Structure 1
Amino acid sequence: MAKCTIRYWAAAKEAAGTAEERVEAQTLGEALDAASLLHPDDRFQRVLGASSLLVNERPVGRRPHREVPVEDGTVIEVLPPFAGG
């Protein structure tokens, strides 16, 4: 298992109650599952589901999360939709 850092921004940070945390996983999907276990409340789940994701500064887009590999030192960023203009 790889040790990854998940960074939360804006509403994701607020819902998680932290700016970042470390999880162990082999794929992005496993990392998000680990985060969901740490934050099982509905609000976190809603924010996570609506967020864009970056893995090592690269957008994940519509790729299946279970097909995106992670390795030691991978940084996952959770970017919820931003309002304003």
Structure 2
Amino acid sequence: MVRYWAAAKDAAGVSEEPFEAVTLAELMTKITAGRDELARVVRRSSFLVNGDPVGRRAHDTVTLADGATVEVLPPFAGG
């Protein structure tokens, strides 16, 4: 399941959606296809996979197990 937060939720038009992908890079390609605003937001976002931060790891090295939850976290204002 992909969960979108804040601006990512607005850009996706849904709060969550199922996915089929092996890596985070593949998932990002699939969810942003034909969704220009979501692609713009995703480029600035950070990600959690099953609650663990992806950090600066290359997205093609982050594998997604069956049933994984990916959270898309755009930058938040304030502190």
Q: Normalising by structure 2, what TM-score?
A: 0.93
What is the root-mean-square deviation of aligned Cα atoms in Å? Answer: 1.0
Aligned length: 79
Matching residue of 1:46: 40
Matches within 5 A, 1:19-58: 19-37=15-33, 40-58=34-52
Deviations 1:27-51 (A, max 9, x none): 11111111112xx233211100000
What is aligned with 2:64? 70
Structure 1 SS opposite 2:40: helix
Question: Which runs of 5 or more residues in structure 1 are unaligned?
Answer: none
Structure with greater strand share of residues: 1
Contact conserved, 2:12 with 2:35, CA < 8 A, in 1? no
* Aligned counterparts of 2:31 and 2:36: Cα–Cα separation in 1: 13
User: TM-score normalized by structure 1?
Assistant: 0.87
Question: What stretches of structure 2 of length at least 5 have no aligned partner?
Answer: none
